[in-house]
Amino acid sequence: MRYVFGNWKENKNLEEAQNFVAELAHLLAGRNRVEKKLVLLPPSIFLAPLGEQIKELLLPVELGVQDVSSFEEGAYTGEISARMVVDLAGYALLGHSERRRFFGENYQTVNEKIKLCQKYQITPLVCLSSTNDLGALELSQRGSPAMIVYEDSQKIGGEETANLGEIIQFCRAVRSRFSGKVKFIYGGSVGPQNARTLWQNEEIDGLLVGHHSLKAGGLMEIFLS
Ligand code: PGA
């Protein structure tokens, strides 16, 4: 199975989010034989209404959360825990470079988050920008299986991905550090203009799409490439 994750980041209000799903339903109509999984990562406040809408429309689309707290529960104002989203999200994006850059997150915190996601059977989608950080990650073989995202932080928000050779090298480093079973995802300037080239490489199990996931048409093009 291959995956497309649409990371909306801090974008859209509820109406825009619901319009996006309605448009997606239109674009997906009659296409239930696609061999890929489409996962949307909206702002967490929209997980419940979008989950309802997806269910009503019988869409083959899943939801994930953009982050979870490193604390299981308690007096941590503003935080959202893995336990709170367990019925709303099957995946959690963890350690995104924007979390590390703007919110001072480090791999010690990310490891706490991984543990909690695995405890609650949420698949952690762990971002790394350098193979040097592979040694800092703690993935348990128990609990939900993890996915690793190579996210080239120099390539975010543009139109050109990291070079394919570099992506494959990263993928092989991930597979030799963890088992071959870990899914390998690439993120960083993925768009309709380069998705086909990335999909042609069998070692890439999925794509994490940022700004090109904000329009249903663009996301579908990547999904169907
Ligand atoms: P982008 O974001 O697709 O806008 O480059 C990707 C990411 O944040 O990983």
**Residue-wise burial string across 24-61, b where 16 or more C-beta atoms lie within 10 A, e elsewhere:** bbeebeeeeeeebbbbbbbbbebbeebbebbeeeebeb
Of the candidates 91, 18, 57, 27, the one whose C-alpha atom is nearest the C-alpha of residue 224 is: 27
Alpha-carbon span 24 to 22, nearest angstrom = 5
Q: Running DSSP on this structure, what letter comes out for residue 201?
A: -
**Cα-to-centroid distance, 186 and ligand 1 (Å):** 10
Q: What percent of the chain has pLDDT over 70?
A: 98
Selected catalytic residue, list 62, 98, 105, 151: 151
Furthest-apart CA atoms within the chain: distance in Å: 47
Taking the CA of residue 9 as reference, the ligand 1 atom at the shortest distance is 8
Ligand 1 center to residue 209 CA distance, Å? 5
Residue 66 amino acid letter? Q
Whether 180 has a pLDDT exceeding 70, the answer reads no
Provide the pLDDT for residue 172. Answer: 94
Distance from Cα 207 to the centre of ligand 1, integer Å: 10
pLDDT of residue 145: 82
* Neighbouring C-alpha atoms within 13 Å toward the C-beta of 67: 20
Q: Is 166 annotated as catalytic?
A: no
The per-residue pLDDT of the chain, averaged, comes to 94
Catalytic residue flag (residue 96): yes
Q: 187 vs 95, 133, 167, 175, 205, CA distance in Å? A: 13, 16, 10, 17, 11
Q: Is the pLDDT at 181 greater than 80, yes or no?
A: no
Please tell me the residue having the least CA distance from ligand 1 atom 8.
210
- 115-173 residue pLDDT tens: 999 999 999 999 999 999 999 998 877 767 899 999 988 889 999 999 999 999 999 99
Q: Does 33 have pLDDT greater than 90?
A: no
Q: Indicate the SS3 state at residue 119.
A: helix
Pocket residue to mutate for ligand 1, from 97, 127, 159, 190, most atoms within 8 A of Cβ: 190
Residues 51-63 have a mean pLDDT of: 97
What pLDDT is stored for residue 31 in this prediction?
A: 80
